[in-house]
Chain A
Amino acid sequence: MDLSAINPILFIAGFFVAATPLIFAAVGELVVEKTGVLNLGVEGMMIIGAICGFATAVETGSPLLGFAAAAVGGAVLSLLFAFLTQVMLANQVASGLALTLFGLGFSALLGQSYVGVKPPRLADVDFGSLAEIPIFGPIILSHDLIVYLGLALVVAVWAVLKYTRIGLVLRAVGENHDAAHALGYKVVRIRTLAIMFGGACAGVGGAYISLIRVPQWTEGMTAGIGWIALALVVFASWKPFRLLLGAYLFGGLVQLQLNLQGAGVAIPVEYLAMSPYVITIVVLVFLSRDKGAAPASLGRIFHASS
């Protein structure tokens, strides 16, 4: 066991990379759940984003275009979910699972010719001499654009939900869809837009894995991260900044696990890998005693009866 083999600076810097896909997927799902919809298809949307992003980046040579394509791909897939749950009034749990299954399969199909291909690299943002600042520089200022975009997105979502009219309406719909409807707000339309936003975000998160974190394409490479994103939203009590904290926690645990493994530490790595999930359960229990946190209409089917 050689703990000195772990470079603390690189270790902490790694948090950002590990957390970014989670941040995107979770913040998108947070918005969706705020409007009262539970979309279990995050995993499916992420992997579709992963392949759309990868394929586009490889074909066009531009990783940024890849991310844009990933957002579109995720949004399009989420439309299927929106159609099923908002128009066809199907059960949200089943629809979300169908989405995941479909997404996993479809992405594998699309990705067949891309296995083993190297994608174009996205350069880190150049902060010039700022990046030389000891500790702060390598940890915070040494990342690619998408990491910073993720952080900005969280701040933006927080601000929109708290301070703008559209944010207020979104929250109202999730709180009491009947009252919102009675007041004249188009519940189905708002939810569909939110679902598409969630899909786009999840797509970008997935593309981050295939284009930057790994970077390559393999079938099913999201490996359950979509489900963690779902847990993360609850862990964060639907609050954007708590979500950020949670993402780094989870990302950190993943990093720790990898590093400890590399350093030959004797703690069975599996118990460490379990901890994010166990912690989430504990948090869930505490949260459920405080009923106020979840959007009241979450998961309930809305049928305008007038």
Chain B
Amino acid sequence: MIALEKRPEPSRTFSLAAPLLAVLATMLFGGLLFALLGKDPLEAIRTIFWEPLFGEFAFFYRPQLLIKGAPLVLIAIGLSLGFKAGIWNIGAEGQYIMGALFGAGVGLAFYPMESVFIFPLMVLAGAFGGWIWAMIPAVLKVKFGTNEILVSLMLVYVAEQFLASMSLGLMKNPEGFGFPGSRNLQQYASAHNAELITGSGMHWGVVAAFIAVIFGYVLLARHRLGFAIRVTGDAPRAAAFSGVNPARLVLFCLGMSGLLAGLAGVFEVSGPAGQVTIDFNVGYGFTAIIVAFLGRLNPVGILLAGGLMALTYIGGDIAQSKLGLPAAAIQVFQGMLLFFLLAFDLFTNYRLRLGRTEVA
């Protein structure tokens, strides 16, 4: 009989191989899916993966990679810190929205004043907004032991309602001809999160994302807190023995992930999105969870995974217009990617054994 047996050591090879295997398996099954939809699988795969990077219009699409990837990476880094310690922040979407609202709110409050201080203040406000939104589940968990998955999730809906309320009410553009939505921040120079190098897609959010990756890497590899996170995730009793304070860890991890999500929100609303509208949020907070897992909760992995996800988004758009591939197919593709990764991940810690095992 086949049994699963725990490996004496987590397998390094599989640790690296699992994501690659997952990508390959997804391409295979994804290709099958596309074939079933009547599209040439090879061409579809090529369009999704190769075209945005090296195709005809790559100069246009490559910046898009940065634009779409930055918020994913930024949020995912924050999430991964918590996930590694077994702290589940599912409400990043809500923290992202609140960051955007706080940031945009500060910016709009200053209108029409122009000053070099406005943008930094907005960024701080955005970070604060995300942080405080994540502190709610954090404090509830520390004080009452409330499950952070459900609280953070419920707060997403609350945040969405705030967003709607602001777009239609307090933040509504007085000169907007009655249309819902705030003033366009892209036209307000002091508040605009402009591209640092025109045409590169690199705005402050992208810079922040790269900084976050470095920050995450250094924290996990070299800092006491990062070590505490890793030990808590592996063996909570050993963490307690070592002297880790679990409450402080919860506050830190949730707070940090909220802060980073909030940053992503303010960068997005003052940059690529431009204004506060009801449907300003496009699900980055949830997709970032997938990116975190795809990246195996490792900062460099997340950078790559974020890029990969962004690639599938953009490639998917191209495939939609060029090949008539339905947008939903990309969602299926992304879901498959996560499925396969989760499945292959098993073999990092277990191996198949044939034969009988004796009960001791």
Contact = CB atoms under 8 A, between A and B. Distances in A.
Q: Do A and B bind each other?
A: yes
Contacts of A91: 293, 342
Nearest to A274: B161
Given A102-B336, A230-B150, A274-B157, 10 more contacts: A84-B342, A93-B149, A94-B338, A102-B339, A105-B333, A108-B326, A231-B150, A231-B153, A273-B164, A281-B140
15 contacts: A89-B346, A90-B342, A97-B289, A97-B338, A98-B335, A98-B339, A101-B334, A105-B328, A105-B333, A106-B332, A108-B328, A273-B161, A274-B162, A288-B146, A288-B147
Contacts of B145: 288-289, 291
Contacts of A38: 149
Contacts of A106: 328, 331-332, 335
A230 B326 CA distance: 30
Interface bin, chain B: 35 or more
Given A108-B328, A285-B140, A101 B161 contact: no
A230 B360 CA distance: 40
Given A268-B169, A289-B145, A104 B331 contact: yes
Contact of B161 (A89, A112, A270, A284): A270
Contacts of B150: 230-231, 234, 280-281, 284
Interface bin, chain A: 35 or more
A219 B289 contact: no
A95 B149 CA distance: 14
Given A80-B339, A285-B140, A105 B329 contact: yes
Contacts of B109: none
B154 interface: yes
B88 interface: yes
Contacts of B342: 84, 88, 90-91, 94-95, 98
Interface of A: 38, 40, 80, 84, 88-91, 93-95, 97-99, 101-109, 112, 219, 224, 227, 230-231, 234, 268, 270-271, 273-274, 277-278, 280-281, 284-285, 287-289, 291, 303, 306
B182 to A, nearest CB: 15
Give 10 nearest A-B pairs by CB, closest first.
A105-B331, A102-B335, A108-B328, A105-B332, A270-B165, A90-B342, A98-B338, A101-B335, A270-B161, A288-B146
Contacts of A231: 150, 153-154
B155 interface: yes
A284 B146 contact: yes
Contacts of A224: 157
Contacts of A104: 328, 331, 335
A84 B343 contact: yes
Nearest to A278: B158
B90 interface: yes
A278 B335 CA distance: 30
B330 interface: yes
A273 B4 CA distance: 48
Interface of B: 4, 37, 88, 90, 136, 140, 144-147, 149-151, 153-155, 157-158, 161-162, 164-165, 168-169, 286, 289-290, 293, 326-336, 338-339, 342-343, 345-346, 350, 359-360
Given A93-B88, A105-B330, A108-B326, A284 B147 contact: yes
A94 B289 contact: yes
Contacts of B168: 270
A271 B164 CA distance: 10
Of the candidates A40, A90, A95, A303, the one having the most CB atoms from chain B within 10 angstroms of its own CB is A90
A124 to B, nearest CB: 32
A284 B333 contact: no
A274 to B, nearest CB: 4
Contacts of A112: 326, 328
A53 to B, nearest CB: 18
Nearest to B293: A94
A101 B338 CA distance: 9
Nearest to B346: A88
A280 B154 contact: yes
Nearest to B151: A281
A112 B164 CA distance: 29
Contacts of A271: 161, 165
A230 B336 CA distance: 23
Contact of B343 (A90, A102, A268): A90
A287 B346 CA distance: 34
Nearest to B164: A270
B164 to A, nearest CB: 5
Nearest to B359: A306
Contacts of B146: 284-285, 287-288
B332 A277 contact: no
Nearest to A306: B359
A234 B328 CA distance: 31
B38 to A, nearest CB: 12
Contacts of B335: 98-99, 101-106
B332 A109 contact: yes
A274 B158 CA distance: 5
B100 to A, nearest CB: 16
Contacts of B136: 281
B298 to A, nearest CB: 15
Contact of A109 (B37, B164, B290, B360): B37
A277 B154 contact: yes
Contacts of A289: 144-145
Contact of B328 (A93, A98, A219): A219
Nearest to B154: A277
A91 B83 CA distance: 11
